[in-house]
C-alpha cells in the first residue's frame, strides 16, 4: 500500500511518513512492506545520511490491522512468515534511522519504533504492548526488545497488564531518547536529523 507511505528528502535527511487513510495507521502486512521498501530505498540513496520514520499527529501506529489478522490461523501465519517478513528487516537498515512518535505507538507500532536506532517522542506520545487485551502476545519483537530498553520488570508489567507508558515515563525508563512539547516537535526532529546527517556517514553507519 505505497499510497499510504509518503517520502521526502530535505538536504541529506530522508523522511518516511505513515499516512494511512485511517489516522491511527493500522499496520497491515502490505502497509508494513511498503514502509520498509521506502526506508530501504532511502538507505540505498548515498545522499541520505539520516532517516526519520514518523506517523500522523494522532498516532505513529496504534497496532496491527486486526481486521486482516483475525481470519488467519497460526499455521497460515507461520507458513507465510506473516510477522517475520518485512517486520524483521528494519534492523538491517544501515543508515541511522529514528522514530518520531506523536500520539499512539502501540503493539506493532511500538515494535516498529523500537526496531529503529532510537525514538524521539512528543509530549502526548503513548507507548505499549496491549496485545494481551485482544488475545495475543507481542509477536514482532516486543517481548524481546522491550526488556532490553526498559528492563525485565517494567517490560513484563507492560506486556502482562497491557497498560500504556506515557512519554515522560518512557524517557525516564530509557524507551525514548528525548521528549519535546508538541508545538516544537517537528522543528526538533528536523534539527536532530540534520545534526546526525552532518556527521561522517561511514562512521555513523558503523556506530
- The predicted pLDDT at position 73 comes to 52
Average pLDDT of the chain to the nearest whole number = 86
Q: Whole-angstrom Cα distance, residue 93 to residue 117? A: 10
* Residue 194 pLDDT greater than 60, yes or no: yes
Q: Is 64 a catalytic residue?
A: yes
Active site (annotated) includes residue 128: no
Distance of alpha carbon 144 from alpha carbon 117, whole angstroms: 15
Q: What is the pLDDT of residues 104-132, one digit of tens each?
A: 999 889 999 999 999 999 999 999 998 77
pLDDT tens digits, 20-68: 888 888 888 888 889 889 999 999 999 999 999 999 888 898 876 555 5
The percentage of residues in the chain with a pLDDT greater than 70, rounded to a whole number, is 87
Instruction: Give the per-residue SS3 of the chain.
Output: CHHHEEEEEECCEEEEEECCCCCCCCECHHHHHHHHHHHHHHHCCCCCCEEEEECCCCEEECCECHHHHCCCCHHHHHHCCCCCCCHHHHHHCCCCEEEEECCEEECHHHHHHHCCCEEEEECCCEEECHHHHHCCCCCCCHHHHHHHHHCHHHHHHHHHHCCCEEHHHHHHCCCCCEEECHHHHHHHHHHHHHHHHCCCHHHHHHC
Active-site hit among 29, 34, 61, 64? 64
What is the reported pLDDT for 121?
Answer: 97
Task: Quote the distance between the C-alpha of residue 113 and its chain's center.
Answer: 2
**Residue 57 pLDDT:** 82
* Annotated catalytic residue, options 55, 103, 107, 108: 108
* Confidence at residue 62, expressed as pLDDT on a 0 to 100 scale: 81
The one catalytic residue in 61, 99, 107, 111 is 111
Q: Is 131 a catalytic residue?
A: yes
Quote the pTM value: 0.88
Does 79 score more than 70 pLDDT? no
State the pLDDT confidence band at 133, using cuts at 50, 70 and 90: confident
Q: Which three cell numbers stand for residue 134?
A: 485482544
Catalytic residue among 131, 139, 167, 193: 131
pLDDT band at 78 (very low <50, low <70, confident <90, very high): low
Give the pLDDT confidence of 156-193 residue by residue, as tens digits. 999 999 999 999 999 999 999 999 999 999 999 999 99
pLDDT at 92: 85
33 is catalytic: no
Amino acid at each position: 500500500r505505497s499510497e499510504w507511505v509518503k517520502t521526502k528528502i530535505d538536504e541529506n535527511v530522508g523522511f518516511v511518513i505513515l499516512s494511512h487513510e485511517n489516522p491511527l495507521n493500522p499496520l497491515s502486512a502490505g502497509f508494513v512492506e511498503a514502509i520498509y521498501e521506502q526506508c530501504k530505498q532511502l538507505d540505498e540513496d548515498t545522499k541520505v545520511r539520516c532517516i526519520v520514520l514518523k506517523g500522523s499527529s494522532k498516532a505513529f501506529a496504534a497496532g496491527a490491522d486486526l481486521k486482516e489478522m483475525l481470519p488467519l490461523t497460526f499455521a497460515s501465519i507461520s507458513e507465510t512468515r506473516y510477522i517475520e517478513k518485512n517486520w524483521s528487516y528494519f534492523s538491517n537498515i544501515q543508515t541511522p534511522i529514528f522514530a518520531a512518535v506523536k500520539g499512539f505507538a502501540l503493539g506493532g507500532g511500538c515494535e516498529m519504533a523500537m526496531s529503529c536506532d532510537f525514538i524521539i517522542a512528543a509530549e502526548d506520545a503513548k507507548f505499549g504492548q496491549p496485545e494481551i487485551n485482544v488475545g495475543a502476545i507481542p509477536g514482532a519483537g516486543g517481548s524481546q526488545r522491550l526488556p532490553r530498553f526498559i528492563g525485565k520488570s517494567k517490560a513484563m508489567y507492560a506486556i502482562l497488564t497491557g497498560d500504556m507508558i506515557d512519554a515522560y515515563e518512557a524517557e525516564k525508563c530509557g524507551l525514548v531518547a528525548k521528549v519535546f512539547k508538541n508545538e516544537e516537535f517537528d522543528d526538533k526532529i528536523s534539527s536532530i536529523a540534520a545534526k546526525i546527517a552532518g556527521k561522517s556517514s561511514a562512521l555513523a553507519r558503523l556506530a
